[in-house]
Structures are given as structure tokens and as C-alpha cells.
Chains A and B, each alone.
Chain A
Amino acid sequence: MAINNIVQQVVPNSLESMIEIVTQPWEKAPLLSAHAKGKKIIGCFPVYTPLEIIHACNGAALPLFGGGNQVEIMNADSRFASFICSISKSTLELQLQNKFRNFDGVVLSNICDVARNLASVMKRNSKLNIEYLHLPQNDNIEIALPYYKSELSRFLRKVADITGCFPTDASLSRSTALYNKLRGLLEDLHGFVSNDGRLGAFEYTVYLRYCYSMLPEDAVTFLGSLLNSMSDRVPRNRDCIKIIIEGAFCEQPPIELIRAIEETGCWIVDDDFAKGLRWHVGPVQEKGDPIEMLARSYFESAQPSSVRHDFKTRREDLLVKKVRKYNADGVLFFIPKFCEPALFDYARYKEKLESEGIAHLQIEYEEKMWTFERIRSEVETFVESVLFW
């Protein structure tokens, strides 16, 4: 798709060029050029990082999604066992191959045991600022909110040490408003995916990741133009089944795999790809103590996820609700190889979906894949079983 005259300085003129950027953001992200203007570049390991804080500290936050198909594992195998997920190895490999040379820091968090250890291994192997965000482990106790607020304050100070800029409350609130705007526009764009399919999940995922490879100010401008161009498109009219994809956590499937799934006759009305980039389901409050508002939002309006410790929500019930909301015909579980949180969740989801009579299929993938014939055959059979039997 040609996207001309949108944001000439930062927007490439084809989807393929955007794919090149989003699959190698550590080298090709437009926001890397902000380094020359004095901004510090902070890489963020999935799933969730409070990007608002980094922005307010005059940093440029660049979400990372592992090395994908773009890096050959040559060194990381000697630091991690063979049964460790691909994204952890490829992220470490990127660091060991000096691919993070444009970065001033990297943020990791305790989303799982492997990610927790990855932070320590990266610290031992680099002079890069590796910051570790301790996300709350229990949201069911009173101290959870004060704890997370103090952790975000600590995180802010650490980021400010890297960037050399300690933000005021006003600048924090402005950053919150900017990211609210960005997430709101992304949700508007997603409406074209889920409502009438004029935009496919594959293309949406590319735009989503591309937006976060830019500075948020540029991304807002880009999305405004993109949304305007949606009226030129026609709604999906090819026969299909509506499906929801669940479970893609931090390790992303190869982007072409999403296209292959759509080709089989799946209309992906909602998905779990790059979940952290659509983390807050509603806007973060812009009035009041900005750090407290961010902390509250984490507990009150964040996406349910295996990697967010949440004892109040039954995610399997939410999944069924989502199926009903979109009138979906089934659910595809995308489970990264060796991902324990995904596998633990799958058992709960599977039991619930079967009790509700909702069709589902489990697919195992790795970020480093080039051929999708096996998966495509499985999904095609699933589509046929829903359409014809």
C-alpha cells in the first residue's frame, strides 16, 4: 500500500519497508535519529514498560521484540539452556553482537523466570544500563498500589539518571496525555480490523509496531493520516471465519505467519500480538499525581495477561466474553515454544472453551521461522471444520 504525503520525513512509502523497520528496530527505527538531538534511546523488552516515564525524562522508548529471523544465534546458546524460549536467546544475542550500540539503556521486567534471569545475564555481559522493573506480584493486597507507585518512582529516578533529565509532574502528565492519544488512535484503527475487516490483522500489527518505532509525536501524526485513508478501503467480503488469537505474549510470531493465517480464511477480529503496546484498555487519568495514576491504571485498566499477576480476573471468562462480543467462530492459541506462562494458561482456556462449545486450535511457533506450511495446513483444516462440518 502506498502511503504518500503522510509524514514525509519518517514514513516509508510501502508496507514492505515498514516490515523491514519493525523487524530490525535496533538498527532501523526512525526514533534512533532522535539520539543526535540529545534524546537517550531506551530499549524495552516486552511485555509492559511505562513508556510515559521514559518520554517525560526526555528519552526515546523503543519496544523490542527479540531478534526474530534477523539474527543468527552464535553466542547466546552458551549462556542459556536449550529449553529456553527463543526471544530471550535472540535478545541476548543482539546485545552480544553489539546490536544495541545505539542504545543508552534497556529495560526488562519480571514477566517470567526467564526474563528475570535475562536481565542479570545481560548485566553481566555488558556495560549498557540494564534497568529492571519490578512489576507487582500480587494485586490483591492493600500494599500493592503504594508498592508499585514507589517502584515507578524508583524507575523514574533511574531513567532520569540515564537521560540526565528529571521530569516535572506537568511534563509527566503531558507524556501520559500523549500516550493516551496514541493508544486511542490505535484502538480507532483496530476498529477497522474488528468491525468490517477493511484492515487485516497482519497490516495492523505492522502499523502498531511501526508506530512505536517512531517518537510518539510522529506516530500520532502518522495515525491521523492513516485513519483518514481508511475511508478509501472496502470492507472485507471474502468468505471466512472470525477468530480470536490468544497467547502470543512477549515472543512474537514471524510477521509473515500472521499473513499466512489470514490467507487460510481467518478474519482475525482480535489478537494478542504486541500486547504491551495496547496495554491500557482505557486512558490513564491525566489529572492528579501522574505516577499514582500510572500505577492505578496498571491495576484497574491493564490488559489481562499471563504475565500480569492478577488474582481477581478469570482470564478464561474474559476470553469467552471476547468470543461472544465479536461473534467469533473460534480461538487460535499461539504458544511460543518453551513458554511456560502460555502453556499454563492454555490448560485453563482449553477447558473453558470446550465447556462452552467454542472451537479452538493450538499452534506452537518460534520467532525464527521461514516456512509456515505445517501451520497453514493445520489452520486450513480448522477453518474447513468450522465452515463445513
Chain B
Amino acid sequence: MSLERAIHDSNHIIGIDVGAGYTKCVVCKDDGAMLGSNIIKTDPNFDKSAMESMRYALQSAGISQMDYLITTGVGRYSVKERNIQVTDVTATARGVSQLLPGIEFVLDIGGQVTKAIKIDGKGRVKDFKCNEKCAAGSGSFIEKAVKYLEVKLEDVGKLALKATEPQPISSICAILAESEIINHVSEGKSVENILMGVYESLADRSMLLLKRVGFNGTKCAFVGGLALQAGMIQACKKKFGSDVCIPESPQLITAYGAALMGIQRLKKIQTVQA
């Protein structure tokens, strides 16, 4: 895509977050207003997913042209049409600081990676840590648990809220954690209690990550797909002992942050070229 075109057309900036589980796309005007968005499951071909998500997002925005495309997420380098790519840590920090000004700590639980980020007042990353051990600390673990418990993914958040005696999941390894879930099932523990146990174990691991970036019990933003699940939000509030702030559309925050960075970059390019 030519940068030259951007000088003459009205500016439509696109941020795409090509995640391991889902691809998220946001279309913005150059004042940061979101015009449209889309979320689709990520195909093994990252470029294809990004283009498809972008097509739907452009449709939802009612426009047909873009001026700057910025990508982030694990598949950011695979998008051939991109103008530039940024890391998901930077993009998330930017998105959160725009929507939740003053927040210092961010927890982002994605499909494969959980990130704890410390940001400064301008949305810059001061420190970050990712889960190291394995998928037991990330969203895909919930998907696995749901499979074993034979419930629908969209129901798990509310189901977990009915728990009376959450069952602990202590294993760090996803495979062993799955064995623990099977043990709980065979011991006759209720699905609700097992689910809340899974959420609490995720919250425990998230808390450890947050502490490693200096979390001091003040407000924390929670973004990513899991921030849509009520059970997970409750588990985080309980473990963190603090306010957990969740922005609107938490799944889209990283793509939105990328789009904001694209706006900034495009303005700079246009200023230099003018």
C-alpha cells in the first residue's frame, strides 16, 4: 500500500491484532473515533485472517478504502499489506491509556499468552512480563477445560458465578491441569465449582505476573477475551484485592491501540511530506 495515497484521501486507519486464537480488526478515523470492527477466529494463514477481518471491519464501517494499516499480535509480520507492525505489549498499553486514563497496571489474557504490563501516564510501557511456563496461564486453557466439562464456552462465565466451593487447580502445566480437572469430575465435584477453580488458578498466576511488574494493589485494567467472562472478573477482583477496570470491548483494545499508533505515525508522515 502506498503511503503517498494517504496525503490526498481522508484518513482511515486500520489496526489489526492477529492473535493466536482470534484476529481483531478496528477501523478508526484520525481523531481516534472507532468506525467499525471485526473479530474472527484466526486461520493458520495469518495473512488471510487479517485480510478477511479487515474486509468485514471496513464493511461495518461503511468504507472501502484505508490509508494506513498497522498490525500487531503474534501474526503481525505475516500481513503483507501492512505499513508497519508494533508489538502487542506497546499497542495494548496505548489502547488502555486512551480508554482508561491514569491506569498504571494492565492484565491482558490472550489465547496463548498472558501479559502483565506497567505503563506510565503517557501510555508508554515501563515494564512487562509474559507467562513463561505454558498455556495453563492463558485463555486456551479455558477452552480445553470447557471441552472436558462439556459446557458451552459462552456459558462458562455465568456458570462459575454459581460456585459454592471452588476446586483448586494447582498444576502449572496445562496437561497436568487437565488431569486435575478430570480428577475433580471423577470425584463428583460440580461443574460450577471446577470452573471457578480454573478461573481462580488463572487469577493466581496473573497476580504473580502483575507482582513481577510492581503491582501494588492499586487499580488494574483487565483486557483480552477472558475479560468478557464474569467468573474470571470475579476471580480477579477476589485475588487482586483491588478495582478491576474493564474497558468496553476488551478484546479489541490491542487492535485499537495499534490503530491509535497508526494515527500518530500517519500524522507525522503527512507533516514531513507536506
Spell out A's residues near B (CB within 8 Å): 237-240, 263-265, 377, 380-381, 384, 387-389
Q: Are B84 and A380 in contact (CB under 8 A)?
A: no
Q: Are A238 and B84 in contact (CB under 8 A)?
A: yes
Given contacts A263-B77, A389-B124, contact A239 B84 (CB under 8 A): yes
Rounded to whole angstroms, the CA-CA distance of A306 and B28 in the bound complex is 50
Rounded to whole angstroms, the CA-CA distance of A77 and B212 in the bound complex is 40
Spell out B's residues near A (CB within 8 Å): 1-4, 68, 77, 82-87, 90, 124, 261, 264-265, 269
Closest to B124 in A: A389
Q: Are B2 and A265 in contact (CB under 8 A)?
A: no
Rounded to whole angstroms, the CA-CA distance of A164 and B3 in the bound complex is 59
Contact of B85 among A237, A265, A377, A388 (CB under 8 A): A265
Q: Are A387 and B265 in contact (CB under 8 A)?
A: yes
Contact of A384 among B68, B77, B87 (CB under 8 A): B87
Contact of A239 among B4, B77, B90, B269 (CB under 8 A): B269
Q: Are B1 and A265 in contact (CB under 8 A)?
A: no
Rounded to whole angstroms, the CA-CA distance of A256 and B9 in the bound complex is 37
Q: Are A238 and B77 in contact (CB under 8 A)?
A: no
Not counting A264-B85, A384-B87, A387-B265, a sample of 6 additional A-B residue pairs whose C-beta atoms are within 8 angstroms of each other reads A237-B1, A237-B2, A238-B83, A240-B84, A265-B84, A388-B261
Shortest C-beta distance, A334 to chain B (Å), equals: 21
Chain B residues contacting A389 (CB-CB under 8 Å) are: 124
Q: Are A384 and B265 in contact (CB under 8 A)?
A: no
Shortest C-beta distance, A77 to chain B (Å), equals: 32
Given contacts A239-B3, A263-B77, contact A388 B264 (CB under 8 A): yes
Shortest C-beta distance, B62 to chain A (Å), equals: 26
Given contacts A388-B265, A389-B124, contact A238 B90 (CB under 8 A): no
Shortest C-beta distance, A236 to chain B (Å), equals: 10
Chain A residues contacting B264 (CB-CB under 8 Å) are: 388
Chain A residues contacting B84 (CB-CB under 8 Å) are: 238-240, 265, 387
Chain A residues contacting B83 (CB-CB under 8 Å) are: 238-239
Rounded to whole angstroms, the CA-CA distance of A377 and B86 in the bound complex is 10
Contact of B265 among A239, A377, A381 (CB under 8 A): A239
Shortest C-beta distance, A268 to chain B (Å), equals: 16
Given contacts A388-B265, A389-B124, contact A237 B87 (CB under 8 A): no
Closest to B69 in A: A239
Chain A residues contacting B269 (CB-CB under 8 Å) are: 239
7 A-B pairs with least C-beta separation = A239-B84, A239-B83, A237-B2, A265-B84, A384-B90, A388-B261, A384-B86
